[in-house]
A = this chain, B = another copy of it.
Amino acid sequence: MQQLTIAIDAMGGDFGPQVTVPAAVQALSQFPELKISIVGDRDEISTQLTHLNYTPPNSRLFIIHSDSAIGNNTLPSKALRHSRGSSMRIALDLVASKDAEACISAGNTGALVGLSRFTLKLLPGVERPALISPLPTKNNQCTWMLDLGANVSCDAETLFQFAVMGAELAEQSLGRKAKVALLNIGEEEIKGNDQIKRCAEMLYQCQNIEFIGYIEGDKLYQGIADVVVCDGFVGNVCLKTSEGVAHLFLEQLKSHLITSKFKQILAKWLFGDVISSLKGLNPDQYNGASLIGLRGIVIKSHGSADISAFNNAIKEAVHEVKRQIPNRISDRLEAVLLERHY
């Protein structure tokens, strides 16, 4: 079995080592081929390992001490200037120096995007990296959506590149051609802003991508498209709004049920499967958005991720290392560009 090493920013997210360390230990038991370099405050990490009765040194878990961590409110430009010695920067440097094959952080998104671009560099032909994540849809399918917040605005060419990168990532999981759509405020050709209209023209002309046209927000969870492309502002609002609506529904159901034990038992019998399937519709259930377009693998975890969610992000990193996602994206982009020029 081929070994692989993943670097984890232990200090990122709302809970830091309390979440990242147990999730890492869990991943080591799930993947015998996995090695982890965990970067952060040595004492805090050791305390967590002691809680777990897991005693380093272990030949598969390496603690790399860092003196600082990047705050959630630090401006990306400032984070970049003062990143030396921070857990996020060290974890990314390990990928840049090929000492690790992927990096995971639950820290400041803007800083992670900026630092990843700076340390790992973009793939040839890529203008902007994008955050992409699968969202649950009807009938237990999923739809990959990008960009989820790496870029506040995007031109037509950038959206086009996102479509190509997203299609490649989705196809690696689906094992078939991915249906790609552009998120818009109407399905007719006249709708939307200039960037979207021009990107649609480019996608219609591209033989390499199966473009199915525009999709509206209300169709997002119907499983019509495998990949949905939009700019990072719209994508982020869309994802968070969906989480908000899903939480509201689940909360409302719960609050009605706790009024009586009798109702609770009956509800479990009547709706046990429905409620768990409703929970499965919450986009929050997935964790681990990939920052794609870079010469290395970077996974962004939710800041509020718990141990199991952070563990999902590690699993996504392992999957991408095994599939060599950056190489595949690079090849796909080259193929599309060649098609365009000849």
Contact = CB atoms under 8 A, between A and B. Distances in A.
Contacts of A188: 72-73
A240 B245 CA distance: 12
Interface in A212-238: 216-222, 230, 232-234, 236-238
**Which residue, A192, A240, A247, has most C-beta atoms of chain B within 10 A?**
A240
Nearest to A189: B73
A221 B244 contact: yes
Binding site secondary structure of chain A: helix
Query: Could you say which interface size class chain A belongs to?
Result: 35 or more
Interface string A231-256: 01110111111111111110111001
A81 to B, nearest CB: 15
B263 A241 contact: no
B266 A241 contact: no
A256 B272 CA distance: 10
A201 to B, nearest CB: 16
A277 interface: yes
B233 A217 contact: no
A13 to B, nearest CB: 15
Interface of A: 72-73, 75, 110, 138, 149, 152-153, 183, 185, 188, 190-193, 216-222, 230, 232-234, 236-249, 251-253, 256-257, 263, 266-267, 270-271, 273-274, 277-278, 281
